[in-house]
Amino acid sequence: MILIAAVDRNWSIGRRGELLVRIPLDQKRFQSVTMGGVVIMGRKTFESLPNPGYLPDRKNVVLTKDVTYKCKNAMVVHSVDECVAYIKTLEDAGVSPDRIFCIGGGQVYSLLLPYCDRAFITMIDYDYEADTHMPCLDELPDWTLEEESDEMTYFDLEFYFRTYVRT
């Protein structure tokens, strides 16, 4: 499974249920990387999506503790174990682990990080006021920065595309 996220210098990912910033090139990258794949997310992330509750042309999976939660455009799982078991059925059916993406939010990143072997991170060189974070891969001994793009800009923001791998 691949984790994909946009983070600021403090590995913050959101505030009040919203992304910190929308960078068109990052959004285009997210769409092209995940298109045709499986996207796993928490309920709040799912409900914040612009298309009424799902990402088109991808298999949507919602991880929530709410056992009564239902939605028509996604598979709903209620625990990490159930999520991992579902991923296993997808892989057994021929879905490559490189087509399965953890897309957030903060709790889901923390819960599924042990099952990820690669991470596509858009690193935004800015400190936002935020209330949601993900684990800092730079501080985890089993994660290594494999690749970093040249600096890119969006108005006055500098950002980089980074690829981390589990070592």
Kindly report the CATH number assigned to the domain that includes residue 157.
Answer: 3.40.430.10
| Nearest CA among 41, 48, 125 for reference residue 76 | 41
Q: What is the pLDDT of residue 64?
A: 97
pTM of the model: 0.95
Average pLDDT, the chain: 96
Residue 40 has pLDDT above 90, yes or no: yes
Band (85; pLDDT cuts 50, 70, 90):
very high
Range of the domain at 144: 2-166
Q: What is the pLDDT of residue 72?
A: 86
How many domains, in total, are found in the chain? 1
Mean pLDDT calculated for residue range 21-34: 98
Residue 11 has pLDDT above 80, yes or no: yes
Mean pLDDT calculated for residue range 42-56: 87
Residue 53 has pLDDT above 90, yes or no: no
